[in-house]
């Protein structure tokens, strides 16, 4: 099963940001931030970019795709 | 309850109102013949119960934001509800046809029987939709 991992929890902790603060900045509910952090929900591309923008890092530093590539 | 989002609370309220009306309706419909007043009364009680419960939940919840995950879960719920409507409607229409073939239905009350089946199918589909959404909130998407 292809999986998208993320480092949101670590990035948030480094900036002392709460889940609610992150949720407010990207117009998500706290429950959705919890689901994303727990790899239970893969956000839309737009939301993924907005999360990366909030942390000021490239997208691939926030999200990593661990599925098998197909050529 | 504090860990639940507004959408989840709203769904639990919806389910509570649906079951509070549908369970007595389902029990009572089997004890006697359905009447238009009984079905109309059930629909009215359901609407009033939904308005009251949803108002209480809205007042009690400060953050009523709906995001992309909520919309995705809502779509999944509607898909489950749609398949329920289609499946049960076929079964219900088939049963009505079978009963009418065996003269077990009063032809004068056919419209009422259709209304009764239609209401039951809609209620069951509503419950399936709500339960599917509540499960989706607790499982990985």
The domain that holds A17 is classified in CATH as 1.10.260.40
pLDDT in tens, B8-30: 999 999 999 999 988 888 888 77
Q: A35–B70: do the CB atoms touch at under 8 Å?
A: no
**B132 close to B80: Cβ distance less than 8 angstroms:** yes
pLDDT in tens, B26-84: 888 777 766 778 888 888 999 999 999 999 998 988 778 889 999 999 999 999 999 99
Query: In total, how many domains does chain A have?
Result: 1
Q: Which of B65, B66, B69 sits opposite A35 (nearest CB)?
A: B69
Q: A31–B65: do the CB atoms touch at under 8 Å?
A: no
Closest listed residue to residue B6, CA positions, set B73, B65, B67, B72: B65
Q: The pTM is what?
A: 0.83
In a domain, A66, yes or no: no
pLDDT in tens, A18-60: 999 999 999 999 999 999 999 899 999 999 999 999 999 999 9
In a domain, A69, yes or no: no
Q: What domain range is A12 assigned to? A: 4-61
Mutate to test the interface with A, among B9, B67, B75 (most CBs of A within 10 A): B67
Closest listed residue to residue A17, CA positions, set A47, A56, A46, A66: A56
In a domain, A9, yes or no: yes
**What is the predicted ipTM?**
0.85
């Amino acid at each position: 099963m292809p999986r998208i991992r993320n480092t949101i929890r670590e990035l948030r902790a480094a900036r002392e940001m709460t889940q609610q603060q992150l949720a407010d900045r990207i117009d998500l509910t706290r429950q959705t931030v919890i689901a994303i952090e727990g790899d239970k929900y893969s956000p839309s591309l737009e939301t993924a970019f907005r999360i990366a923008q909030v942390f000021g890092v490239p997208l691939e530093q926030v999200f990593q795709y661990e599925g098998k590539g197909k050529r | 309850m504090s860990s639940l989002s507004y959408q989840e609370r709203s769904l639990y309220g919806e389910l509570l109102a649906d079951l509070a009306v549908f369970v007595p309706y389902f029990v009572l419909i089997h004890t006697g013949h359905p009447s238009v007043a009984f079905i109309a009364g059930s629909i009215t009680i359901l609407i009033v119960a939904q308005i009251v419960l949803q108002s209480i939940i809205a007042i009690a919840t400060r953050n009523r934001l709906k995001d992309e995950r909520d919309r995705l879960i809502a779509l999944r719920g509607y898909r489950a509800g749609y398949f329920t409507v289609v499946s049960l409607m076929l079964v219900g229409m088939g049963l009505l046809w079978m009963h009418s073939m065996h003269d077990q239905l009063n032809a004068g009350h056919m419209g009422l029987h259709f209304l009764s089946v239609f209401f039951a199918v809609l209620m069951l589909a509503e419950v399936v939709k709500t339960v599917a959404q509540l499960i989706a909130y607790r499982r990985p998407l």
